[in-house]
Amino acid sequence: MAEEYDLVILGGGTGGYVAAIRAAQLGLKTAVVEKEKVGGTCLHKGCIPSKALLRSAEVYQTAIKSEEFGIFTENVNVDFSKVQERKNKVVDQLYRGVQHLMKQGKIHVYEGIGRILGPSIFSPMPGTISVEMNNGSENEMLIPQNIIIATGSRPKSLPGLSIDGDLVLSSDEALQLDSLPKSIIIVGGGVIGIEWASMLNDFGVEVTVLEYADKIIPTEDHEISDEMLRLLKKKGITFHTGAKVFPETLKKDKSVSITAEINGKLEEFEADKLLVSVGRKANLESIGLDNTDIVIENGYIVTNEFFQTKETHMYAIGDCIGGLQLAHVASHEGLTAVEHMAGKKTEKIDYSLISKCIYSSPEAASVGMTEEQAKKDGYELKIGKFPFRAVGKALVYGESDGFVKIISDKRTNDILGVHMIGPHVTDMISEAGLAKVLDATPWEVAKTIHPHPSLSEAIGEAALAVDGLAIHS
C-alpha cells in the first residue's frame, strides 16, 4: 500500500534530518529514507567521531606536557580501545538524540534505499519513491508532493589506488582502527588530511603527508597555510608539497609503500598504513535520477538558489550539490529548501558569511575572503594581525602559537575576511561570522569590549591593528 507525504527526504544526515524537523514544524507530513543510520556521515563517519578522537589525542598531549604546569604523572599511555569506546559512546548518545527528535516531530523514518520512480499509476510526474527495506520486507511505496535529495557523499580515491580497508584506508576505515599504526602516509593535505595528520601525530604515530598542491590546506589564506605547515612540522610531521603520487607503484605486504614525484625526482615512501584523503564524491548512484530531468554537472546535482532542481518539486541539498561540503552548510540549505517549498519568505544563502573550521592542533578557522581572493577581486586592503603570544589567556593555556588576521576594504572599511589559527579558534570564529552578517567594520569590532583575560582579546586587538592602533603590540 502506498503512503502519501507532503515531503520525503532521501538521506537522513545532518542536512536531511534538520530539513525534516523544520518541515514537521511547518505542519508538513514528512518522511526520511535512510539506508544506514539517521545522523548520516557527520554523526557516524565524520565530524563527531573524528573530533572525539582529536579530543582524546589532545588530552594525551596535555598529560604528557603536564609537568610544565607543575603536575606530575607517571606511565602516561594510550589505550586505543578505550579511546574508541569513548568515541562510540559520544556518537551513540547523539544518535539517540536524533532518533528522539524524529519521534518528537512525528517524522516517519524508513530504513532502506529509496529510488525515485518515473511517471506511474501513482503519479503523472516522476517522484514516487520505492524503498527497498533493510529488513528484507516488501518495498514501501511513498508518494510525496515534494522531495529533497540529501544523499551526501563518500570518500573518493585516486584512480588506481583502491581502498582495501586494511593497509590502504579512507577516513571511514581509519575511524574504526582497532589499534594505532606506528607510521602512516597520508595522501592529501586538505582539511581532512591535516586533521588526521595532527591527531595521529599527537597519539605518537610517525606521519608523512603527500600533497599535490604547492601548499597544504590550499583554499585557506596563505598565511594560515604557512603557519599551519610551520607548526605541524615543529610537532614532527613530515610534509611534501608538490607531490605527484603514482598509484601503480603501490606495494602491499605487511606494510605499504608508494612512490611520488617531488621536484622532478622519484621518491618511495613506506609506512604501516596509507590514508587516502583526496576529497569526497557525491552519492548519486542508484537513486533513480535517470527517471527524472534533474541535471548533473561535474558529478553534482544542479539547483537554483533555493535548491530546486530542474524538477521543481524536487530539491537537493548538502554534499550531493557540491560547494561547501560542511554539515552546517547542509543544515541551512535544508532549512532554506523546506521554507521555500512551504511558500515562506526566505533569503538565499550568502556563502561568504559561512565560517569554516579545521579541528587540528593548532585549530584554524575563517570566514569571508582570503587576502589573495580580495586582491584578485580588485580590493585595496587594510590588514590587521595580532599574535596569541601577546594574549595573557593563551600563555595561561600554554598555547601561544598562531594569530588572528582581519582583512578590510580600504575604501569602505567593511570587513572582507577574518582568519585565525591558534587555541580554540573554532569556538571564536562565530564572532567574526556575526561581524560579517552585520557588515561590520574593524572599528565596530574593536568597540566590542572583550573580557580580560580571554582568547577573544586577539580579535579586538587585530581589529585595532587594521588601523595601526593595537594596544599590546
- Residues 377-428 have pLDDT tens digits of 999 999 999 999 999 999 999 999 999 999 999 999 999 999 999 999 999 9
Q: pLDDT > 70: what percent of the chain?
A: 99
* Per-residue CA distances from 375 to 5, 392, 417 (Å): 49, 33, 12
Q: How many residues does the chain have?
A: 473
- Residues 330-368 have pLDDT tens digits of 999 999 999 999 999 999 999 999 999 999 999 999 999
Other CB atoms within 10 A of residue 303 CB: 23
What pLDDT is stored for residue 120 in this prediction? 74
- Residues 179-196 have pLDDT tens digits of 999 999 999 999 999 999
For residue 472 the three cell numbers come to 599590546
What pLDDT is stored for residue 119 in this prediction? 82
Question: Does residue 201 surpass a pLDDT of 90?
Answer: yes
What pLDDT is stored for residue 381 in this prediction? 98
Residue 54, judged by CB atoms within 10 A of its CB (0-12, 13-18, 19+), counts as: buried
Kindly give the interhelix angle for 14-25 and 80-104, rounded to the nearest 10 degrees.
20
What pLDDT is stored for residue 416 in this prediction? 98
Mean pLDDT, the chain, rounded, equals 97
Backbone angles phi, psi at 291, to 5 degrees: -90, 5
Kindly give the interhelix angle for 191-202 and 222-234, rounded to the nearest 10 degrees.
20
Whether 108 is catalytic is no
Are the C-beta atoms of 247 and 159 separated by less than 8 Å?
yes
C-alpha closest to that of 108 among 188, 12, 178: 12
Are the C-beta atoms of 237 and 209 separated by less than 8 Å?
yes
Confidence of residue 126 (pLDDT cuts 50, 70, 90): confident
For residue 150 the three cell numbers come to 540529501
Question: Does residue 249 surpass a pLDDT of 90?
Answer: yes
Are the C-beta atoms of 470 and 384 separated by less than 8 Å?
yes
For residue 58 the three cell numbers come to 589532545
From the candidates 222, 313, 328, 452, which is the catalytic residue? 452
* Non-local CB neighbours of 121 within 8 Å, separated by 6+ positions: none
- Residues 434-452 have pLDDT tens digits of 999 999 999 999 999 999 9
What pLDDT is stored for residue 452 in this prediction? 98
What pLDDT is stored for residue 425 in this prediction? 98
Whose cell is 569526497? That residue is 280
Pick from 52-56, 68-72, 122-126, 228-232: least confident: 122-126
- Residues 298-320 have pLDDT tens digits of 999 999 999 999 999 999 999 99
What pLDDT is stored for residue 122 in this prediction? 64
The one-letter amino acid code at 445 reads V
What is the distance between the alpha carbons of residues 226 and 229, in angstroms, rounded to a whole number?
A: 5
Question: Does residue 1 surpass a pLDDT of 90?
Answer: no
Confidence of residue 253 (pLDDT cuts 50, 70, 90): very high
The one-letter amino acid code at 337 reads A
Whose cell is 539517521? That residue is 38
Are the C-beta atoms of 52 and 44 separated by less than 8 Å?
no
